[in-house]
Amino acid sequence: MKQLIVASGNAHKVKEFDGLLEASGFEVFSAKVCGGMPDVLEDGDTFGANARIKALALRALAPKDAWIVSDDSGLEVDALGGAPGIHSARYAGEGASDLHNLNKLLLELEEQAVANRAARFRCALCLIDPSGREQFFDGACEGRIAKAPAGAAGFGYDPRFVPQGDSGPFAERVDSVKRPLSQRASAI
């Protein structure tokens, strides 16, 4: 079985990759097998550029026969010109909590009607094979930002993001229901 190392220190993300790739022929590992994810400056101007930065940083530490996958993802809101975009995790500033980021988003959307709250979670994957070849994959989950929060599952923007064709936000869905709808699943 091929070894796939996820370039992330986020255990939740590694678990999600493992679930999405269970029938792929890859054995999924976290960056811990390389001593942990190195600190990187995500200064790319796209999700793909940031995913590549993380993948290359871990590739330098990984066994030569390993495959490396990294992602960068975030929320894009049409009424905000695509913001928060690549700044989703730091939307309210460096070190801001999920709640601070969500509150800033809601304040900026306060006057917007539901019809003007189109949004999507977007994901870019960078996959590096043992020969060093890089491949990129994109995925999205279309939806909208709800006026009222609901649910206790998930994190980040999940209490307000309602996927297209659904009546409730991601935070009302268990992982097994949410995972196949996610931007990461779309990219994979």
**Predicted confidence band of residue 18 (pLDDT cuts 50, 70, 90):** very high
Greatest Cα pair distance in the chain: 53
pLDDT digits (tens, 9 = 90+) for 110-132: 988 888 899 999 999 999 999 99
* Residue 20, both tokens: 């999405």
Query: Which range among 62-66, 71-75, 158-162 shows the weakest confidence by mean pLDDT?
Result: 158-162
Which one of 45, 72, 158, 175 is the catalytic residue? Answer: 72
For the domain that residue 23 is a member of, what is the CATH number? Answer: 3.90.950.10
CA 50/CA 54 separation, integer angstroms? 6
Query: Residue 170: which domain range?
Result: 2-187
Q: How many domains does the chain have?
A: 1
Active-site annotation holds for 72: yes
Q: Give the pLDDT mean for 155-179.
A: 83
The DSSP line for 31-50 is GGGGTSPPP-----SSHHHH
